[in-house]
């Protein structure tokens, strides 16, 4: 029961990527090292690679040492989100929480990122809050919420059979994305 875990212990066991990606003024490396101050440049690059951010960071004039404006306003929404994902990956946490963190990504980047996260999923608990069904298709357990309560749970295939609400959402989204 998570309610019995001391707050500090809970915070230390969780690596969070919030829905609204936030970057601080400084450099790319400084923003990433917020999560792991002792991380080497090689570790930063590995996190960027997993987060599908390595290419655009390497294209910046100063790479890891490129300037970041307050709020990351010199990056696109998807770039900010990928930098925040890379930052979270630098923490070796038993639980990773991605709060609608893939919504700013195009479907191709989303798919590559989820594939790159596969090793992490094997060694940690990964919680993904998502509105896009494509983001959670391969999840081991999906919870469908309605009015703040769990309305249904299961895998994608189980929910397609058992939950009319999930089936309607999935059908509309996956048909639009050409996945049905």
**Within a 10 A sphere around the Cβ of 109, how many other Cβ atoms?**
17
Same domain, 37 and 56: yes
Backbone CA torsion sign across 103, 105, 108, 110: negative
Does 28 share its domain with 11?
yes
β-strand pairing of 67-68 with 26-27 = antiparallel
Contact between 111 and 142 (Cβ < 8 Å) = no
169 and 89 in a single domain? The answer is no
CATH number, domain of 41, equals 3.40.50.300
User: Do 94 and 168 have their domain in common?
Assistant: no
- Considering the domain architecture, whether residues 123 and 157 belong to the same structural domain is answered as no
Is the same domain home to 85 and 160?
no
Instruction: Let me know whether 18 and 77 are in one domain.
Output: yes
Structural domain of residue 159, as residue ranges? 130-180
Q: What is the pLDDT of residue 23?
A: 97
Position 176 scores a pLDDT of: 57
Looking at the structure, tell me whether residues 134 and 108 fall in a common domain.
Answer: no
146 and 76, same structural domain?
Answer: no
Are both 169 and 97 inside the same structural domain? Answer: no
Domain boundary among 113, 129, 145: 129
Note whether 79 and 154 are same-domain residues. Answer: no
Distance CA 48, CA 143 (A): 29
pLDDT for the residue numbered 179: 54
pLDDT by residue, tens only, the chain of 180 residues: 788 999 999 999 999 999 999 999 999 999 999 999 999 999 999 999 999 999 999 999 999 999 999 999 999 999 999 999 999 999 989 999 999 998 888 889 988 998 998 888 788 999 999 988 988 988 899 999 989 899 999 999 999 999 999 999 999 988 755 555
What local confidence, expressed as pLDDT, does residue 80 receive? 96
**What's the pLDDT score for residue 3?**
87
Q: Are residues 147 and 179 in the same domain?
A: yes
């Amino acid at each position: 029961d998570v309610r019995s875990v001391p707050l500090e212990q809970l915070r230390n066991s969780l690596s969070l990527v919030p829905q609204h990606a936030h970057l601080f003024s400084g450099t790319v490396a400084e923003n990433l090292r917020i999560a792991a101050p002792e991380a080497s440049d090689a570790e930063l690059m590995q996190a960027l690679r997993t987060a599908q951010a390595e290419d655009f960071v390497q294209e910046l004039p100063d790479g890891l040492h490129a300037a970041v404006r307050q709020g990351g306003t010199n990056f696109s929404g998807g770039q900010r989100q990928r930098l925040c994902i890379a930052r979270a990956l630098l923490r070796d946490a038993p639980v990773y929480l991605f709060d609608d963190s893939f919504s700013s990504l195009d479907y191709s980047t989303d798919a590559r990122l989820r594939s790159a996260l596969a090793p992490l999923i094997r060694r940690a608990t990964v919680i993904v809050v998502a509105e896009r069904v494509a983001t959670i298709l391969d999840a081991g357990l999906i919870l469908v919420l309605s009015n703040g309560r769990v309305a249904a749970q299961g895998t994608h295939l189980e929910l397609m059979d058992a939950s009319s609400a999930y089936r309607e959402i999935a059908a509309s989204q996956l048909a639009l994305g050409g996945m049905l």
